[in-house]
Structure 1
């Protein structure tokens, strides 16, 4: 017998895929941070590489936490009919990655001069 208040499995599975995308993003940020610190010695100075790499690694630590938090909020909204979560976490990550990329561009341009 199907429960009438049960959320559609398609939405639940889509939410899980989004959660897994947060995990993939975290792994990519971690790989990028480690690469920045250890694999590109010709990129700017040591402290700049370390700073940019650590910023990526910190985002890699925060991404799974944000993804899990958002997944739990979405699951709650699907199960109870509550409103969907705010997009604040998405904005924070978009702005943070944009700032890091902007800093990398500035360092690259300054280094090319």
Structure 2
């Protein structure tokens, strides 16, 4: 994979900031992997957790959110790097609010399913 064109623009930021940005990216990737692992675990390890169709929908939702998060985290990392290279304010990200809502909604759905289990 070749280097993106934007890496040849602006000035190279302090490596500490670039490494901090990379650590944040990796944390989001770990979260995406955790969502994917949760989807696989729910499908393979808890077949009686919810009715079949609902369980499949939950698995697909978790896996889909994990995939979207992986893509969005790269875009966020890239936007942050570009802003640092051009001495601009770091862009606002909806990811924190979005992930908070998604995780809260998933917790609520799982809590209801646990309470309704026979």
TM-score bin (small chain): 0.7 to 0.9
Superposed counterparts of 1:8-19, under 5 Å: 8-19=14-25
Q: How far off its partner does 1:44 sit?
A: 2.1
Q: How far off its partner does 1:42 sit?
A: 2.1
Corresponding residue for residue 30 of structure 1: 36
Q: Give 3-state SS (helix, strand or coil) of 2:49's partner.
A: coil
Unaligned ranges ≥5, structure 1:
none
Q: How many matched pairs? A: 108
Q: How far off its partner does 1:31 sit?
A: 0.8
Q: How far off its partner does 1:16 sit?
A: 0.6
Q: Which runs of 4+ in 1 moved over 3 A?
A: none
Does residue 111 (structure 1) correspond to residue 117 (structure 2)? The answer is yes
CA distance in 1, matches of 2:48, 2:75: 38
- Superposed CA deviations along residues 39-69 of structure 1, whole A, max 9, x for unmatched, are 1012121122112111110011111111101
CA distance in 2, matches of 1:6, 1:71: 15
Correspondence for 1:91 among 93, 97, 107: 97
TM-score under structure 1 normalisation?
0.87
Unaligned ranges ≥5, structure 2:
1-10
